[in-house]
Structure 1
């Protein structure tokens, strides 16, 4: 089968390309940076996977309109080309951050969206447009909302945590108890391939996450085990940590209130809908095994 992928040079794109090719598919890269991509739009394929987009800028230097131009407007142009094509499936990679930047409880697909960042707002606006269009007979639209994706070659918060533990620095936030969902790139690739091949699967929104959530303390323990080191957890009383973080809001400390929130908050994402609709009980790689594979790659 022919499968078109935008954003193929990114972390997810590279891994999906390799996986889908190994499963016997012909991959057609489509660069939306090419000024004539619309003229070179492939005539036909079984699926179009739209990964290209502007990621969340943690330094907050990007303008809100930059996200809208790339994540919303470019997606609209691409989807309109899809509607007029012979391509069967449009798979749009959105994000759980299109729904909530923080939450209580577990995130399901029917959760009322209330994004706070320009990134999340641009993603939900793209989603609303796609869902508002009438699909021609025989076409399918899948909106994928992945949580934090990881895997070999991925650089991000997990890599930073790995470096801290490797240096032998005790984890100072052990007194905070949280649970977070993660997504192995291997599980992501598995789910996408299964969705494309399950012809009776109907259009819809799907959360992507590993089967089990882990606490930050468990992550530190996994990293230590990967390194062959003894886990070092430092349970400083939360009130003291929060006071230091408050000071960091005004002085150049390594910890401030926003960073403390990201390191200690819970973010649970349910994958029950996609597993139910694909009729699978467990994803191929467990949460812990996927993370260990990622840590070993560092």
Structure 2
């Protein structure tokens, strides 16, 4: 019996590649990896060339049942273009819609869009949580482009009869994670004293294992169609708790100094980095009850387990 074929865009990226490996392992679907360049997935599954700006390079989708769209122009810390929103729209909105139209015309049944919690906003008051049906309040061009893509996809889905599923993850971590999460692990592993020992914020994270588990559930679950899902590990941590848990997972002593958040924010403002202070000191919590209820799902991986996996991979490759 022929297994459903699932096209995964951005399959060279952190989330896309992990999803393809999960689908290969579970053997319920035939993943097709859509990538811009070389990939270590070559020879493990069908691989096609894909560029959101040059969709003509994409082969026919006539035999694809589901598209998981993880490719995007991601959040840029140090933007160099003069019109950042236009650049994000070119890829995240126009490119996404072009792909969705091709998919609908080819008879693809379901289109799963990896969006971002930035559609909801940048922060929550401590003890409050973002909900899927909250009024969106994106702040930066990346979040705005993700929201615009969501709205346009929902309209296109209604017009052309393709099921649209939207997933908004918060910060995703796991083996091989880069950017700020990797930097924090490096500081902790080297024993760098950090002024983050007195924070009482709460932040939702999602391990790559929990995220790809949810995506796989969305591929086939009948109730996923037409819904927007928030996802997390189901356990929220303060920045202080996260750093201590990282240290424990790596078998090192955490060297945290309690500095009042107001001083951290002031210091970040003086060096023109207020957004960094917000991410370190502020809260961002999501409510996944609706996700769990509709999809009959719960996060299979606990935070401690996920952090141990990250730490083991990090230590195997050395502290750089």
Q: Give the alignment's TM-score, normalised by structure 1.
A: 0.91
Distance 1:50 1:243, change over 3 A: closer
SS of the residue 1:132 aligns to? helix
How do residues 45-194 of structure 1 correspond to structure 2 at under 5 angstroms? Answer: 45-62=64-81, 63-104=84-125, 105-133=128-156, 134=158, 136=160, 139-194=162-217
Distance 1:22 1:155, change over 3 A: same
CA displacement at 1:135 relative to structure 2: 5.0
Instruction: Answer with 43-52 or 126-135: which moved more.
Output: 126-135
- Contact 2:265–2:278 (8 Å) recurs in 1: no
2:302: which partner in 1?
286
Q: 2:283 aligns with which of 266, 288, 291?
A: 266
SS of the residue 1:106 aligns to? coil
CA distance in 2, matches of 1:215, 1:12: 24
CA distance in 2, matches of 1:52, 1:22: 22
- Contact 2:209–2:301 (8 Å) recurs in 1: yes
The root-mean-square deviation of aligned C-alpha atoms, in Å, is: 1.9
Distance 1:163 1:117, change over 3 A: same
- Contact 1:83–1:135 (8 Å) recurs in 2: no
For structure 1, the 5+ residue unaligned runs are 250-255
CA displacement at 1:201 relative to structure 2: 3.8
Q: Give the alignment's TM-score, normalised by structure 2.
A: 0.85
SS of the residue 1:74 aligns to? helix
1:252: which partner in 2?
none
CA distance in 2, matches of 1:9, 1:29: 8
How many residue pairs were aligned?
290
Distance 1:81 1:36, change over 3 A: closer
The superposition leaves residues 137-188 of structure 1 with CA deviations (integer Å, 9 ceiling, x where unpaired) of 5x42101111111111111211111111112122212222111111111111
1:16 aligns with 2:37: no
Distance 1:274 1:241, change over 3 A: closer
